[in-house]
Structure formats: structure tokens, C-alpha cells
Amino acid sequence: MFEAMLEGWSRQQRSRLLAEKTVRDRLRLVRRFAEYTNAYPWQWTPEDVEAYFAAQFTKDPPAAHSTVRGQQNDLELFCAFVTDSRFGWSAACAEEFGQFPVQVCHDWNTADHVAEFEGRPGRRALTYDELQQLFDAADDRVEQKGKLGRKGSLAAWRDSVMLKFVYAYGLRRREASMLDLPDLRHNLRASDYGRFGALQVRWGKASRGSPPKRRTVLTVHELDWVVPLLEEWVEQARPRFSPGKHPALWITERRSRLGVRRLDEVFNTIRKLAELPDELELHSLRHIVSA
């Protein structure tokens, strides 16, 4: 019965065009909750919710407030599904087990969304001085690997340009990872920049139930120093990876797309070389503050 509930909920979510990752994450949460309570949905109580989520804050590190609130919302949605008379789960459970599922997530045992920002307070933007330190460390890494003749000098070149590119166009990790060469566009009002006058972002952050948002980011005069770097990357460095027909703008040594996790690894490696604080992350390049 439990597996049939999960399968039915899965189909219902997919029919709403929710992202596959969203569906998978929700199913995993419900399974974890059932494992924690050692009970099935027709046996769950509000006390189970309180015990489960209270335990999330005893972990090291504790779960983020936004994570807990999101999981509570997902569990509430599952309970709403199995208690909806249109799907027949309550009647089937009552007939089979003499019990039926109820809504266990309520206003009085779940978190309210009262703050506009729910991220970890330790995360912050870079200052301009820190940004310069980061870029200097990236350039030094290229020079050092080149002088020593070490394998990886070409990848270090790519990493240096990629970080500056992410900053110049204000990109998220997935947006940068999923870019292809044809996404580099001309801008008639900035013909001096050639094919680097604009950037077509096709994998922007999506609203729930919607495909990724698209947007065009123009190359601005204040950051046009990125144009010669991109020209050098596209025309000189990238071909040395022998990408063949692979369209990705950022290519790996194995001729595959530079993934989101690899982008994080690149940033963390260079951040450490620059001796910058641990709380800084790649997303911080979207948020720069004055020194």
C-alpha cells in the first residue's frame, strides 16, 4: 500500500510537470520519514513530525531553516495527497488496516516562512579586495603550473577565465555549466565585442512546474575586460582540449562538460590559494560589496 501511494504521488507530480529532481527528493524524504517513525502513513501522528524535525537540528551541522521548512512542506503535500478522497487512499487503508492517513503537518508544529532570506548567516558576498585576491590567485596558479611544466596548466587557464566569466555575467553554477558555444551572441549595439556582445542563458533558475527560464545578459562596458579573455579561451585554449563536436563552452580534459560539482571544486581550490575565508563560495561572485 505504501509503495502504491508513493507511485501514485510520483505520477501526480510528474503530470504537473515538476522537475524530476524535485519528485525524487520528495519521495526520498517520505521514505526517510517512514523509516524514522517505523510506521506507515496511516499510522503517522503529529508527534512523529515534531520528533523527526527536532532531530534535524541535533545533527552536525544542523539542518538549515530553509531545508527544514521545505521538507515540512513536502511532507504536508504528501499527506494532502493520501488524505484526498478523490484518490481513494483513505478508504482503501480503512478497509485493509482499520486505520486511515491524516494530515500530520499543521501550523502549530511546522515552521512559518517569516524571513525573506533563510540562508545560512555565515554566507556572504566578496569584497572588491577579496575578488582581486581570488583573481590574482587564479592567474598565479596558471603561471606556476606553466613554469613547472606540470600537467594541468591548460585546465588552470580554463579555471581562471571561467571564474572571471561567472563574475562578469553574474551566473549561477548550473547556468555556467550548461552554456554552449552558440550561446555567445552578437549585440548590434556593441559591435566591437563581436560574438561576445551578449550571452544567451538557457538554463536559468526555474519556477516550480516550469522549464528553466531564459534570459539574455549583455556584455557591459565596465566589465568588457572579459571579452579578450573569452576570445583567447574560445580561439586558442579550448581547441587544445580536442573537444570535437562537443558544444560545451567549458570543457574538461576528458572532453565532457564541466559539471556543477567541478565548478565548486575549482572555486574552493583557488579560494584556498588566495587564503580567503571558508564561508565564501562560487555563488558569492554574484554578490560583490565595496571594500
- pLDDT, one tens digit per residue, over 183-197 is 999 999 889 999 999
Share the mean pLDDT of the chain: 90
pLDDT of residue 116: 47
> Which grid coordinates belong to 99?
486505520
pLDDT band of 113, cuts 50, 70, 90:
low
pLDDT band of 201, cuts 50, 70, 90:
very high
Q: What's CA 201's distance to the chain center, in Å?
A: 15
Percent of the chain with pLDDT over 70: 93
Between 123 and 153, name the one with better pLDDT: 153
Alpha carbons 207 and 213: distance in angstroms, whole number: 8
CB–CB of 146/153 below 8 Å? yes
Name the least confident of 3-7, 54-58, 238-242: 54-58
Total-model pTM = 0.65
Mean pLDDT of 214-227: 93
Angle CA 59–61–64, to nearest 5: 95
pLDDT of residue 115: 47
pLDDT of residue 56: 87
Radius of gyration of the chain (CA): 24
- pLDDT, one tens digit per residue, over 13-64 is 999 888 888 899 999 999 999 999 999 999 999 999 999 999 988 877 888 8
pLDDT of residue 208: 65
**Burial 34-55, CB ≥16 within 10 A → b, else e:** beebeeebbebeeebbeebbee
The domains found in the chain, sorted by start residue, are 2-97 (1.10.150), 126-289 (1.10.443.10)
Name the least confident of 15-19, 100-104, 162-166, 213-217: 15-19
- pLDDT, one tens digit per residue, over 97-111 is 999 999 999 999 888
Q: Is 272 exposed, middle or buried (0-12, 13-18, 19+ CB in 10 A)?
A: exposed
E strands along 61-181, which residues?
A: 126-127
pLDDT of residue 65: 82
pLDDT of residue 121: 55
Between 120 and 179, name the one with better pLDDT: 179
pLDDT of residue 272: 94
pLDDT of residue 149: 66
